[in-house]
Structure 1
Amino acid sequence: MTTLSIFDFSQPDEAKKVTDDSSEIRALLAEQSVRFEQWPTKDLPDDASQDEILEAYREEVESLKAECGFQTADVVSLNPDHPHKEAFRQKFLDEHTHSEDEVRFFVRGQGLFYLHFGDQVFSVLCEKNDLISVPDGTRHWFDMGPEPRFTCIRLFTNPEGWVADFTGDDIASRLPRYEAMVGGA
C-alpha cells in the first residue's frame, strides 16, 4: 500500500504516517510541489519488454510529454537476482538533485523516494500504478531495498537521461532505510 511518512528533525524517531488515503498523500505532496497520481492498472506479464510497457501506457506517457515537455521515456527494471543490484542501490542512496523533474511511474513492484524539504523528509513508498514527479532542484534519494523488485517508466527532458548532482549531505544515512520502513526485503 502506498505510504507517506513525514520525518521532522525535531523528532527524528517519530514519523507521521499516511497510508489509507491516497487523496491525503496527494495533497500533502502537492503542498511541496510534488506531483503524485495513480494510473489505471494495465494487465502486463512480469517479463513484458520495454516496448510492450511503453505501448501499454502510450496515452499516459504522451499526455505527460505534451504537458511537461519531456523528450524521452524509457523503462528501468530490477529484480533480486540482478548481479549488480547492490551497486545500483548504492548509486541512488545518497542525497542528490537534478536539473529536471524526476518522474517515475511504477509498472510493478515498489521503492522508497525520500524528499528533503527544510527540516522535514517525506518518505514515499511508491507501488504499482503510482506516478511521482519530484521537481527539479529538490533534494532527494531513492531506496529500492536489498532485494529490489520493480519496473518503472522514466520520463526525461534531458536526452542524456538520469544526471545527478550529489549534495554531500549525509542525511540519507541518518534516516531509516527501506528494510526498516517496509519490513524486510
Structure 2
Amino acid sequence: MAVIKVRNTSEVIEGHDNVLTFLEKQGVLYEHWDMSKLPEELKEKFVLSDEEKEGILTAYKDEIEELAERRGYKTWDIVALSDATPNIEELLKKFENVHTHTEDEVRAITAGHGIFIIKGNDEVGYFDVELEPGDVISVPEGNPHFFTLMEDRQVVAVRLFIETEGWVAHPYQDTVSK
C-alpha cells in the first residue's frame, strides 16, 4: 500500500483508508489492484519484451478498461525503468523537475516502486506518495508534481492517457520549495 509523507509537517500517512481519504481531499485518485493477477514471472522483472508488456496489459485488461471508461482514457502502455534502462540518469533528471500536464498523469504500479511528489493545497504543501505494486494513482490535470524512482531504482507501470500528446510536461515554477 502507498505511504504518504507530508513535507511541511513530516506527517506520515499509512493504511489504505487513511491514504485514500488524504488523497481524495487533494483531488488525487487512488486505487489498489489485485497483484495476484500478475503472472509470477513478471512480478520482479524490469526489462520487458513487447510480449511481456502485453502480458501485463492482458492480466489487467478489465481494470484498465473500467478505469478508462470511468475517466475517459483512450490509450495505455507499459513503462519499465531500472538501472538497465538506457540513459536512466538523463530520464530521471528530466522527471525530477516540477511540471504539469494538460491531462491526468495516471500510473498503475505492477512491479518495483515509484514516488510522486505532488503539490497539495496551501495548507498541505508538497507531499510524497510512495507507491508499490498494486497502487494506482492519477495526478489531476494541471496539478504540479514530479515522479522519480525510490531506492531500489526500478519500476514497471501501466500508463493511461486521453491523448499521449496531452502528457507533455510543462515546467512549473513555484515560489514554495518542494
> TM-score range with shorter-chain normalisation?
0.7 to 0.9
Q: Would you say 1:85 and 2:85 are equivalent positions?
A: no
Offset at 1:168?
A: 3.0
Shift of 1:160: 2.9
Residue 54 (structure 2) aligns with = 51
Instruction: Let me know the Cα RMSD of the aligned residues.
Output: 1.9
Aligned with residue 19 of structure 2, among 10, 14, 25: 25
How many residue pairs align between the two structures? 167
Letter in 2 for 1:107: T
Deviates more, 1:102-111 or 1:48-57: 48-57
Amino acid at match of 1:125: E
Work out whether 1:68 is the aligned partner of 2:71. Answer: yes
- Poorly superposed stretches of 4+, deviation over 4 Å: none
Q: Tell me how far 1:147 sits from its aligned partner.
A: 5.3
* TM-score, normalised by the number of residues in structure 1: 0.83
**Alpha-carbon distance, 1:146 to partner:** 6.6
Partner of 1:167: 172
State the alpha-carbon separation in 2 of the partners of residues 28 and 147 from structure 1. Answer: 26
Do the aligned residues in 1 keep the contact of 2:112 with 2:152 (CA within 8 Å)? no
Is the 1:92–1:143 contact (alpha carbons within 8 Å) kept by the matching residues of 2? yes
The letter for the 2-side match of 1:139 is P
Q: 1:125: which partner in 2?
A: 130
Paired residue type of 2:160: L
**Aligned to 2:167, what secondary structure does the other structure show?**
coil
Q: Give TM-score, length-normalised by structure 2.
A: 0.86
The alpha-carbon deviation at position 145 of structure 1 amounts to 4.1
Structure 1 contact 85–148 (Cα < 8 Å) conserved: no
Aligned residue for 1:182? Answer: none
The structure-2 alpha-carbon separation of the partners of 1:163 and 1:100, relative to structure 1 and needing over 3 Å to count, comes to same
Superposed displacement of residue 159, structure 1: 3.6
Tell me the secondary structure at the aligned position of residue 82 of structure 1: coil
Equivalent position SS for 1:90: helix
Greater per-residue strand proportion: 1
Give unmatched runs, 5+ long, in structure 1. 9-13, 176-185
Q: C-alpha offsets along residues 119-153 of structure 1, whole Å, 9 cap, x if unaligned?
A: 51121001100000111010101111475211000
Q: Distance in 2 between matches of 1:93 and 1:26?
A: 24
Structure 2 SS opposite 1:137 = coil
Q: Tell me by how many angstroms 1:29 deviates.
A: 0.4
Q: How does 1:96-175 map to 2 (within 5 A)?
A: 96-117=99-120, 118-119=122-123, 120-145=125-150, 148-160=153-165, 162-169=167-174, 175=178
